[in-house]
Amino acid sequence: MFVAATSRCFPDLSMDDAMRRLVDLEYTNVEIMIHESGGLLKPSEVLADQDRAVQFCRQTHRLTPCAFSIDMEISDEQQYYEQFAACCRVAKTLKVITVTVRSAELGTPFNAEVERLRKLSAISSEEGIRVGLLTEIGHMTEDPDTAVVLCDSVKGLGITLDPSHFIFGPHAKRGFRQVMKYVYHVRLRDTSKEQLQVRVGQGQIEYGRLINQLNKVGYNRALCVDIAPMPDVDQLVEMRKMRLLLESLL
């Protein structure tokens, strides 16, 4: 395993400045967020000019792209899958093997979600890319058992584990060991039962236990720091503390 950070940890900075900041903090790997809202790069932009998208994603100042996060906001089904396919082609060019997508919101028919995920998995597999389904409150994966059933229903589908959403969310009293063998990618911040994000060291995530569980299933990819800026809190200090904490446990 190795420590990484998402490109949205410094949302007010340009791609160039955000990467410089991560390098200064001694991070070596980055997950690039390709989101239509809030991303440094948009899926629609990737589809419009894939060569430019590749060059944009290479502006990492020696940081190694270890994963993509793809979030498309378009109702046209054909363009939705075309945007995803374009992002997968860019991922292949950059030797990124895992892309994260969000699961459908709660209330979505299960069979419709399985059909969507099967299409995404089929598209990604053509480029040698694997899809991790983000665990997230308000979405079908907020329940770890449902996340497992989705993975069992879609060949090649895995999990992007964000344990904060199991600790703070409606299933906080349950464990989530059952998702471990499906994990393709991990995102981390500190979390309490009252707040999704708190300062590093003030939450209830047992990082050592989590890493041991991941070791047992052979996970050897990124532990990706995904800390959003907090009012009156030094973001640089939080990012440095989290890196040092995780590295001390590896």
Alpha helices, H only, the chain? 15-24, 43-48, 50-57, 77-93, 110-126, 144-153, 164-167, 207-216, 235-249
Tens-place pLDDT, residues 105-120: 999 999 999 999 999 9
Q: What Cα–Cα distance (Å) separates residue 237 from each residue in 24, 155, 165?
A: 12, 41, 23
**What's the pLDDT at 75?**
85
Identify which of 68, 145, 140, 151 has the alpha carbon closest to the alpha carbon of residue 108. Answer: 140
- Model confidence at 174: pLDDT above 80: no
What does the pLDDT read at residue 74?
86
The CATH fold assigned to 2-249 is TIM Barrel (3.20.20)
CA 99, chain centre distance (Å) = 8
Residue 147's nearest CA partner among 192, 177, 188 is 177
Strands 130-134 and 158-161, how do they pair?
parallel
C-alpha–C-alpha distance, residues 56 and 45, integer Å: 11
Contact 146, 157 (CB under 8 A): no
Q: According to the model, what pLDDT value does residue 172 have?
A: 72
In the prediction, which pLDDT does 126 show?
94
The pTM assigned to this predicted structure is: 0.93
Q: How many Cβ atoms from other residues are within 10 Å of residue 115's Cβ?
A: 13
User: What would the two tokens of residue 37 be?
Assistant: 């809202």
Q: Where are the domains of the chain?
A: 2-249
Query: Is 104 a residue whose pLDDT tops 90?
Result: yes
Q: What is the predicted pLDDT for the residue at 221?
A: 94
pLDDT digit string (tens) for 178-216?
999 999 999 999 999 889 999 998 998 999 999 999 999
Percent of the chain with pLDDT over 90: 86
pLDDT, position 154: 96
Neighbours of 79 (CB within 10 A): 14
